[in-house]
Amino acid sequence: MSIFLDKNSKVIVQGITGSEGSYHTERMVKYGTNIVGGVTPGKGGQKTPQGLPVFDTVKEAVDATGATHTCIFVPPPFAADALYEAHDAGITLAACITEGVPVHDMLEVVGTTAGMRIIGPNCPGLVSPGKALVGIMPGHVFKEGPIGLMSRSDTLTYEVVDLLSRAGLGQSTCVGVGGDPIIGTTFVECLREFKNDAQTRALVLCGEIGGSDEEDAAAFIAEHLPELPVVAFIGGRNAPPGKSLGHAGAIISGAFGTPESKIAAFAAAGVPVAQRPSEIPQLVAERLAVRA
């Protein structure tokens, strides 16, 4: 098992003939993802170099292929439209890789697309190792196994996954939830899914300063996941307050969003917080050993 994505998930790519879309389509296909086609308006009827059919609309693609998942590579002004189109066509999971989507667009989208899970935007996608990869993550660092991972950043995710894989700790599903203020799927929603996943026996949560997703996750873990081992990491403990560092998410404002508040929340939930990424595998292994 895994969450959100498996070997049989039929995936299309919106923006499949664009430079990013075509590059990553090739990589996803190579990884083994069940890509069934793509969409570029006006290029319906063409084929990609991999022989995948291109459609004019998501609806046509869904009707022809039975796709349930989409990976969105379109410029920021068109991301909301792409998400609405996917929702209207009955897509159940959309990973929106696009960076720079206006926050009001996402407010509108998340408020009106019930029934479709959105990962991102401004995210690297998700991977169920050994089964399928949707997005832009480097497939070779992943290894199939029992660890569920969720993270707000991208390269840091690869770093942590790499450490886990090298330590022999494979992953069930790794979700890059995205760095924007308004995202389709938060840590809590990932936790809710991992809770019911038989393959997942421990969780790693890579948080960051800013927002209150980590605090919310800690509260959820305390209430609903007392039995599952969870290890957290908080990036940006040395960031100054009131200033954005890099992407929009990493800003501390008010009492919430500080590393202290997040670490305290995890402590209260009995979740160890790694000081460095390199400590994560050891902490996970210990917790798994205790449970075994």
Instruction: Give me the least distance between CB of 234 and other proteins, in Å please.
Output: 9
Restricting to residues 116-135, name those near other proteins by CB under 8 A. none
Task: Find the Cα–Cα–Cα–Cα dihedral 16, 68, 148, 106, rounded to 10°.
Answer: 70
- Residues numbered 152-211 forming contacts with other proteins, rule: CB under 8 A: 152-159, 162, 179, 181-182, 186, 206, 208-209, 211
Q: Does 90 bind other proteins (CB under 8 A)?
A: no
Q: Tell me: does residue 43 bind other proteins (CB under 8 A).
A: no
Residue 171 has which token pair?
């992953």
Which run of H or of E encompasses 201? none
**Of 127, 83, 126, nearest in space to 101 by CA:** 83
- Does 104 bind other proteins (CB under 8 A)? Our answer is yes
Please give the residues from 246 up to 265 whose contact with other proteins meets the rule CB under 8 A. Answer: 246-248, 250, 254
CA gap 198, 259 in Å, rounded: 32
Q: Could you say which of 238, 289, 290, 292 contacts other proteins (CB under 8 A)?
A: 238
Structure tokens at 73: 């590579």
104 is catalytic: no
Q: Which one of 24, 69, 87, 247 is the catalytic residue?
A: 247
CA distance 59 to 266: 43
In terms of CB distance, is 153 or 199 closer to other proteins? 153
CB 6 within 8 A of CB 131: yes
Which residue in the set 10, 27, 117, 195 belongs to the binding site for other proteins (CB under 8 A)? 27
Provide φ and ψ at 286, rounded to 5°: -60, -50
Among 10, 50, 92, 102, the residue binding other proteins under the rule CB under 8 A is: 102
List the catalytic residues.
Answer: 247
